[in-house]
Amino acid sequence: MATRPIWDETQILPETAHALFADAEGLQTLWGNIDQAIWNTRSKQRGARTQETRRQIKAQYEHTAYADNVIDLEAHRSSAPQLTGWAATLERLIIEVGRIQDGWDGPGSLAPSSSVQRDFEAALGVLPGSTAEPEIEIDGSTGSITVRWMNEIAASAAVLTFMGDGHCIIMDFNPARAGSAPIICAVHDETKILDMLDATTFGSLLPAIA
Amino acid sequence: MGVVDDEEIILRASYDPMHWKKSKIQSSFVRASHLLEGELSVWRSSEKSGLTVSDVMLITDGVAPPGNTTKQLHGPLAREIRGLRNPSGDRLFCVVDETTTDEAGGHHPAHAHIRLCDVQRASIAGVSDPNFEWARQRLILLMKQPATTFPRP
């Protein structure tokens, strides 16, 4: 199995990636390296920069690939280095959210804005690999995204909502902690997000985070 | 029909495919704008309304968005909705008799609305207010409990 080099994500620039667009093999390598770097980084500043760079590269790549009709995007994705665990789940959810268009939930309904998507990706990207797949709900009147982990009888739940303002609302619903107020957290504050979630129902539902 | 009694079942419909899409991404069956405006549409199943849960499912099928059918009815008791409290212990919601079912002037005697209590509504800045979102999520969680969910037979 080929070794996947760790990309120095602090050096990635969209222009660098763009230069590789003509080389599908090089692009696949770049794609894998970026993903690898994102899921490996534990520095919130580097992580934030990498997430943003990755988003720009993907947007530019998809635009180019579609416009030139030179690369089958789905085929490319399926041949790209495979993520596993929560990273793979999140990657799929990000793609699904990104496909939603205004009007998806009836006339006048809103899709998640680019800022909502960006916050969603940034905050959830810090969760551990053992994180279980949550419920994802989008509110058609606001375009906000809600992420929910709950136990089987829906008596306890940890919930995050993204409004697109650079923050997430962390909510803990647990009969043993009836007085838990919502917590506002910057999406790039990796330490606070993990600390807050660890103290909520999320921590008890997902022991691996502890 | 008058005041909604505490022991009435208050049913909110989730529709297929609107709220049950093939992907993992679902649309919320408690829309923020409807709840904030005090117009979250629900139906009453009780001796007072004379409707069973099955009767209500026929009604919600009839008013479903085009191409949709009722997948589930989420039905806590009015008492349980009225019993939801914010972290400070203050009551969050009212369940009120409201026969108007839509903006086109439709009416039904067994229709009602869930809305924020006046004190809560006055303190909420808008749909992005964290306290409002907390209240909305608390209501959704109550409605998602298996004991209060009625799937299509």
**pLDDT score for A129:** 83
Q: Is B1 within a domain?
A: no
Chain B residues whose CB is inside 8 A of the A153 CB are 145-147
Does the pLDDT value for residue A198 go beyond 80? no
> Which of A86, A137, A151, A180 should be substituted to probe chain B, the one whose Cβ sees the most B Cβ atoms within 10 Å?
A137
Query: Exposure string (b/e) for A10-35, b if CB count within 10 Å is 16 or more?
Result: eebebeebeebbeeeeebbbbbbbbb
Domain extent for B62: 9-151
Does the pLDDT value for residue B31 go beyond 90? yes
- What pLDDT, in 10s, does the model give residues A104-147? 888 899 999 999 999 999 999 988 888 888 999 999 999 999 99
Does the pLDDT value for residue A172 go beyond 60? yes
Partner-chain contact B133 A96, CB within 8 Å: no
Q: What is the ipTM of this complex?
A: 0.92
DSSP of A55-116, one letter per residue?
HHHHHHHHHHHHHHT-S-HHHHHHHSPPP-HHHHHHHHHHHHHHH--TTBTBTT--PPPHHH
Q: Is B3 within a domain?
A: no
**What's the number of domains chain B is made of?**
1
- What pLDDT, in 10s, does the model give residues A16-61? 444 444 455 555 555 555 555 554 444 444 445 455 555 665 665 5
| Mean of pLDDT over chain A | 73
Higher pLDDT, residue A78 or B23: B23
Domain ranges of chain A: 9-82, 114-209
Chain B residues whose CB is inside 8 A of the A171 CB are 133-134, 137
Does the pLDDT value for residue A67 go beyond 90? no
Q: Is B95 within a domain?
A: yes
Rounded to an integer, the average pLDDT of A161-179 is 89
Q: Is B123 within a domain?
A: yes
| Total-model pTM | 0.77
- Contact B62/A at CB under 8 A: no
